[in-house]
Structure 1
């Protein structure tokens, strides 16, 4: 009998086709408990399709996805989604402009957007604690329409934490942030990633500069295939990134150990 621990997420032979077009080609990927991953790749490499398949918003053409012991197609995926927190600009755009941050976070208890879809029994104190983890408890009564992009992203992560997810997916969360706001946001993500009982993270990005030190592993996609996967120090290289983005690139580290690309 195998004593190998069950991975948090297992993707085997995942393929997605639309007509004669291959969107994803035999993706094999495992996320072990306690790992934090970044997904890198050029536009059109399949990042969005992979996330959509993992969260059961896109039906694969073939392959198997198992999350937290539950296999895709054999489990009520609406319940499984409660264990997967998702932060993306596509979702944040659906928040009612006049809703305050506290009610946005409260809606995360049932993974439903909008104040009127949430259960009135969800505790307010938990929502305030989730806001506090992101350093934005003071925004509880602030309306969505007056929040900055960075504030919105932090509030939405707090919303995702309401359901105590096992996995937190961050789909290009730094898009639209200026350099200062981006650094403040990444600092808060580092603190969240360092929590002992916090969720595993999957950070989707185009920019290696956003891969903070707590990100332990990276998955690099190219034209729907896995180009590289594994620990950051092993899977990321100038050669790999040059192939992924179709241009000669040099990967460097600054004095603080942060990654950056030189074109």
Structure 2
């Protein structure tokens, strides 16, 4: 993947992110595949969407799975996350059952799982990627986050060049900016794997360039897998 040599006006305005020294989770054991599917099949009732799929993703890979809408890509993501179980075959993530290692997987969904009317700031949206102590106050703020959690969220926002917008409401961002915040939310827990479902949906062409610049920079420190129907963007 080529890295484009220009700034990203749809981001916070300061160009490419600066990726600090990697601090993501080490993989369990030399040579252990990050993702391994063997003979996997899945069907919704009688409609088969995946048949005898084999897939192996190694540490450090940056992989795109391309296919048409309705071709089973989101089903594949749900199998990797452990949200679905295969009808046949096996799915292993980091050498284990997907559900058992779910905290080690950073997931960026196709659509933001944040209600548009919920008055969450960019900083708070990233904090949602961390486990918190206690529940929400009536104000909608999170008392259980420690100072180090808040600092970690800011550090991660700097990684994706969104720190200057930390106090802005999430629903006021552009599509490209929202996607970068969702990447930060996925990264804040130091995952071993980043998993994307249709990352370029609802993003304009310049926003796509910004996003792939970011992913190209991140790929030196973390394994990345994305599923997409957008062949042109995925081959950039």
TM-score of the superposed pair, with normalisation by structure 2: 0.77
Shift of 1:199: 2.0
In structure 2, relative to structure 1, the CA distance for the partners of 1:118 and 1:199 (3 Å cut) is: farther
Equivalent residues of 2:116, 2:171 under 8 A apart: no
User: Deviations 1:140-174 (Å, cap 9, x if unpaired)?
Assistant: 10111211111111011101111111110111111
In the alignment of these two chains, the number of paired residues is: 201
Is residue 89 of structure 1 aligned with residue 110 of structure 2? yes
Structure of greater relative contact order (alpha carbons < 8 Å, 6+ residues apart): 2
Which residue number in structure 1 is paired with residue 5 of structure 2? Answer: none
Q: 1:12 aligns with which of 23, 38, 46?
A: 38
Equivalent residues of 1:13, 1:63 under 8 A apart: yes
Deviates more, 1:88-97 or 1:12-21: 88-97
Equivalent residues of 2:170, 2:178 under 8 A apart: yes
Deviates more, 1:22-31 or 1:12-21: 12-21
| Equivalent-residue separation in structure 1 for 2:131 and 2:112 (angstroms) | 15
Which residue number in structure 2 is paired with residue 101 of structure 1? Answer: 122
In structure 2, relative to structure 1, the CA distance for the partners of 1:210 and 1:4 (3 Å cut) is: same
Equivalent residues of 1:82, 1:110 under 8 A apart: no
Shift of 1:94: 3.8
| Equivalent-residue separation in structure 2 for 1:167 and 1:94 (angstroms) | 26
User: Deviations 1:64-89 (Å, cap 9, x if unpaired)?
Assistant: 111112135xxxx2x52111111123
In structure 2, relative to structure 1, the CA distance for the partners of 1:179 and 1:125 (3 Å cut) is: same
| Equivalent-residue separation in structure 2 for 1:67 and 1:160 (angstroms) | 17
Give matches, 1:190-209, under 5 Å.
190-194=216-220, 198-209=221-232
SS of residue in 1 equivalent to 2:111: helix
Is residue 144 of structure 1 aligned with residue 165 of structure 2? no
User: Deviations 1:174-194 (Å, cap 9, x if unpaired)?
Assistant: 111111222122222222223
Shift of 1:93: 4.3
Which residue number in structure 2 is paired with residue 189 of structure 1? Answer: 215
Give matches, 1:1-263, under 5 Å.
5-72=31-98, 77=99, 79-94=100-115, 97-110=118-131, 119-121=144-146, 123-194=149-220, 198-211=221-234, 258=236
- Identify unmatched segments of 5+ residues in structure 1: 213-257, 259-263
More strand by share: 1
User: Deviations 1:12-53 (Å, cap 9, x if unpaired)?
Assistant: 111112222212111111001111100101112110111111
| Equivalent-residue separation in structure 1 for 2:141 and 2:87 (angstroms) | 36
- Identify unmatched segments of 5+ residues in structure 2: 1-28
In structure 2, relative to structure 1, the CA distance for the partners of 1:50 and 1:133 (3 Å cut) is: same
| Equivalent-residue separation in structure 1 for 2:214 and 2:107 (angstroms) | 17
In structure 2, relative to structure 1, the CA distance for the partners of 1:169 and 1:183 (3 Å cut) is: same
Equivalent residues of 1:108, 1:160 under 8 A apart: yes
